[in-house]
Chain A
Amino acid sequence: MKLHEYQSKDLLSRFGVPVPAGEVTDDPKEALAIAEKLGGKVVVKAQVLMGGRGKAGGVKLFDSAGPAAEFTKELIGKTLVSIQNPAGMKVEKVLIAEQVDIAKEFYLSVLLDRSEQKLVVMISAKGGMDIEEVAETDPDAIIKLYVDPAFGLCDYEIRAALADAHIPKEARGQMVGLIKSLVKAYLDADAELIEINPVALTPDGKVIAADAKVAIDDNALFRHKDYAATSTDSAENPIEAEALRRGIAYVNLGGEIGIIGNGAGLVMCSLDEVNAAGGKPANFLDVGGGAQAERVKSCVELVLMDKNVKGLLINIFGGITRGDEVAKGILVAFDQLNVNIPVVARVEGTASDKAREMLASTKIVPAETMQEAAQKIVALTR
């Protein structure tokens, strides 16, 4: 799950990372008090998990507390829209923080290198801009430092990497400490990404994390109950939030053909087939292994919450999942949910004969193969 900026900064400061003073609020009156306490010269940042937040008008600098509070009033409840997130996200909270004077900007991140099967720290003197662009245009400007899984990082390795990255000498001592704190935070908090962009070097020579992005490994939330409680906040789409609550692997894709299948690989393959047939998938949904009728029904219901869905493709290869249980779930869903869009079902594997029999006398269109199913649903929704 992605953490909000204020959560990320709270977390990192617990590990000794210097962050700008600030507080989060949803109340303009409180915003005034916070901004006054910080001396008036503040930045107000909408706490929404979307790209392009600044361009969408969610971040503004102020010289005094009054206008900062006014802006807070304006932002709370407003829906911000960006190119990355055309559906928009409603602002529930804002972060009010002291402005940071920046003399120089750097980039730091900690993430997993899957090929090396180790953590890697990425360091660059080119901070404050899109790191993927830096990787594209000037790959040598990014230095990678691998973390030994048994021993961690040694100071001399960090110093060498900082020199290689052309981080100015006056910042290196503080950067060594900062990197060690980030790696410790990554491991202790079960992060899957920590990114500080920019790391600011102030005119008086202090290193500070001016922005922070932290994502926590969903599989490790059992060790971090405080975040688990807020995990549905981080969904980018209301149906995805509902899917999280129901424990269903669902991703909204914005198209018109709803897709339900079992197993991530098979579902991805079904998306590919729908695309190949000229359709646009509305979602990815994996019912999971051994799904019972009730769960299948819940999945159908979830997919139909998306009002763009004009047709539904169900693709099941039964192993542990029994075809007849899936058929039962589909029938219950039809019975209770008043489904009035075309549905194509392809059921193969365990108990598939029985499933086909159960679905035969209904409006559901059968298909023998995944390819045929994709072509049929695309044709039916034209």
Chain B
Amino acid sequence: MSILVNRDTRVLVSGITGREGGFHTRQMIEYGTNVVAGVTPGKGGTDFDGVPVFDSVQEAVDKTGANASLVFVPGPFAADAVLEAEAAGIPFVTLITEGIAVSDMIRVVNRLKANGKTRLLGGNCAGIITPGECKMGIMPGHIFTPGEVGMVSRSGTLTYEIVWELTRAGLGQSTCVGIGGDPIIGTRFIDVMKMFEADPRTKAVVMVGEIGGSDEEIAAEYIATMSKPVVAFISGRTAPPGKRMGHAGAIISGNTGTPQSKVDSLQRAGAVVADKTSEMAGLVKQALQKIGAAV
């Protein structure tokens, strides 16, 4: 088992003929992801490395049975691509694009929430991978290995850093989810935590948060009720207030989003919080040993 994506996921790529979309489509196919269709308006009827390209998402769904959409289209058009996937009945959309206007994301996220048909992951995220089964995103596949640790993170490269530690320590992953670094995102920590709690394969969860917003604090309330151990890390603990650290969401404003409030609420909820990324693998091992899982 895993969450959200597995070997049965049939991926459609929006923006498959673009530079980023094309590069990562090849990487995903090489990894073994079942990429069944691409969409680029105006290029319908052609193919991309053997993957059929369609003019619209609806047409791609009708002809290929795609059940997940991965969006690479540029910022100004990204909101539209997500809404098009929803309209075509796709239940899961991952939005990689960075630099999407917040006003667009407010409209998209609230509409998807109200309709309740489609889950959005991202934007500005690295995507999602169930190692050995489906890579739907831009992460380097070779650092992941199948296993029982679930992972959820706001940051791409920091995920790679920690996954690489886990993999080298012999700790495989069930599913790794990049939720993205923007202020308004479709899937939040708490949503993923609930899925990992329900997933029989996942034995422990690694959570990588950062300064800004209060999603870590909101998730902590749920973590307090979880049966599975959670090991967390918060990035940007020494970042000064009022400065935006690259991710549009990574800014401490006023009294919200401080690293201390995140660390405190996670610890109160029973999560183990690492001071350094290099401690993560060791702490996950300890947590698994505590619950008697084979390590």
> Which residues of chain A come closer than 8 Å to B113, judged between CB atoms?
117
When chains A and B are docked, how far (Å) is the Cα of A371 from the Cα of B276? 8
Q: Does B224 lie at the interface of the complex (its beta carbon under 8 Å from any beta carbon of A)? A: no
Closest residue of chain B to A193 (Cβ to Cβ) is: B253
Confirm or deny: B31 has a beta carbon within 8 angstroms of a beta carbon on chain A: no
Q: Is B114 engaged at the interface, CB distance under 8 Å to the other chain?
A: yes
From 113 to 164 in chain B, residues with beta carbon under 8 angstroms from any chain A beta carbon are: 113-114, 126, 138-140, 143, 153-161, 164
Q: Kindly state whether residue A222 has any CB partner on chain B within 8 Å.
A: yes
- Stretch of A4-12, A271-279, A293-301 lying at the B interface: A271-279
How many angstroms between the C-alpha atoms of A268 and B247 in the bound complex? 10
How far in angstroms is the closest Cβ of chain A from B34? 22
Would A272 and B235 count as touching, CB distance under 8 A?
yes
Docked Cα-Cα span, A80 to B247, in Å, equals 30
Cα distance A358–B186 in the bound complex, in angstroms:
42
- A192 closest partner in B (C-beta): B102
Interface string of B156-180 (1 = CB under 8 A from A): 1111110010000000000000000
* Interface contact A319-B138, CB-CB below 8 Å: yes
Q: Tell me, yes or no, whether A26 is within 8 Å of chain B by CB.
A: no
Q: Are A117 and B109 in contact, CB atoms less than 8 angstroms apart? A: yes
Residue contact B101 to A217, C-beta cutoff 8 Å: yes
Docked-complex contact A117 and B103, CB < 8 angstroms: no
Which stretch in B9-17, B35-43, B48-56, B207-215 binds the other chain? Answer: B207-215
Contact partner, A268, options B109, B139, B245, Cβ 8 Å:
B245
A342-369 Cβ-contact flags toward B at 8 Å (1 or 0): 0000001110000000000000000001
Residue B83 CB within 8 A of the other chain: no
The A-contacting residues of B in range 192-251, CB under 8 angstroms, are: 208, 210-211, 213-215, 218, 235-240, 243-250
Query: With an 8 A cutoff between CB atoms, is A137 at the interface?
Result: no
Tell yes or no: A132 within 8 A of B by CB: yes
**B140 x A251 contact (CB < 8 A):** no
The yes or no answer to A336 lying at the interface (CB within 8 A) is no
Chain B residue, CB-CB nearest to A262: B157
Q: With A and B bound together, what is the CA distance between A253 and B207 in angstroms?
A: 27
Name the prevailing secondary structure of the A interface residues.
mixed
Partner of B238, one of A135, A218, A271: A271
Across the interface, name the chain B residue whose C-beta is closest to A84.
B242
Q: Min CB distance, A107 to chain B, in Å?
A: 14
20 contacts across the A-B interface (CB closer than 8 A): A114-B215, A117-B184, A132-B254, A149-B110, A219-B75, A219-B102, A219-B248, A222-B76, A263-B155, A264-B245, A264-B250, A268-B155, A271-B239, A289-B156, A317-B164, A320-B23, A349-B143, A349-B164, A369-B278, A371-B276
A150-B114, A223-B101 known; 12 new pairs, CB 8 Å cut-off, are A117-B110, A117-B184, A217-B102, A218-B248, A219-B75, A264-B250, A268-B235, A268-B245, A271-B236, A276-B238, A319-B126, A319-B140
Q: Which A residues contact B (CB, under 8 angstroms)?
A: 112, 114-115, 117-119, 132, 135-136, 149-150, 187, 190, 192, 217-220, 222-223, 249, 251, 253, 261-269, 271-273, 275-276, 281, 284, 286, 289, 317-320, 348-350, 369-371
Closest 6 CB pairs of A and B: A265-B155, A263-B157, A264-B246, A265-B158, A220-B101, A268-B236
